[in-house]
Amino acid sequence: MRLVVFPDTQSAGRAAAREAAGLLRSKADVNLGFATGHTMIPVYGELVRLHEEAGLSFKRARTFNLDEYVGLGRGDSDSYYEYMMHRFVEQTDLSEDWFFIPDGKAPDPEAECERYERLIKECGGIDLQLLGLGRNGHIGFNEPGSSPESRTRVVALAEKTREVNETDFRKAEPPRHAITMGLATILEARRIVMVVTGWEKAEILKAVLTTPPTSEVPATYLHDHPEVTLIADREALEKYFQEIVSFGYEMKVTPPR
């Protein structure tokens, strides 16, 4: 795992966007795996800027989102579908036909999971997967206890996850279930970039970096992947910096610009 440290949230987000942009420039028909949440806002902001100011095109790309709440989807302001439309799809030249996300409103959620998993495989798999990190160590909505063999499925959300996400819901309380790519699905991506920012993530980031793979901290399974870049800001790392350094990570600390 390669670890790159940036001075703040915005510069970390821009760096993650540049990872995706660099791949897109070398392979126009790339399959990108996307995440949502507050950490990803500067990532999409930079991708939109690169599209508008530097001509970065998504016309031949496909995007696959990690997850969606059960019961939410197109037209629901609290859905990840609308999050992506507002922050990325409507501001770029990505075809809506090639923007893929689990359908949280599907009448048969289990069948939807099978369809989504099959779609990813039929399209050739994911070239680069962007990830955030939940405060309990989840990636996607693979909560503690998730199997590394898991595939796209319906999951019950941990209470800690629902508490953290509560401020994002304006009309109702957070749903109790979601559809998520499984850990095995995520780990089949050819490259993974995980973005971790903010002092609130310091404890869990230390756990991820210093703990062998365990289902109690699902993100630790990233240690089993050969091509992972972890992009963090100073707030997320400085409290345990020396302890993390002692584990021998290949680390690059980027100074403020």
Positions marked active-site:
67, 136, 138, 143
Check if the beta carbon of residue 208 is closer than 8 Å to that of residue 217: yes
6 vs 254: CA distance, rounded Å: 5
Helices 41-54 + 9-26 axis angle, to 10: 50
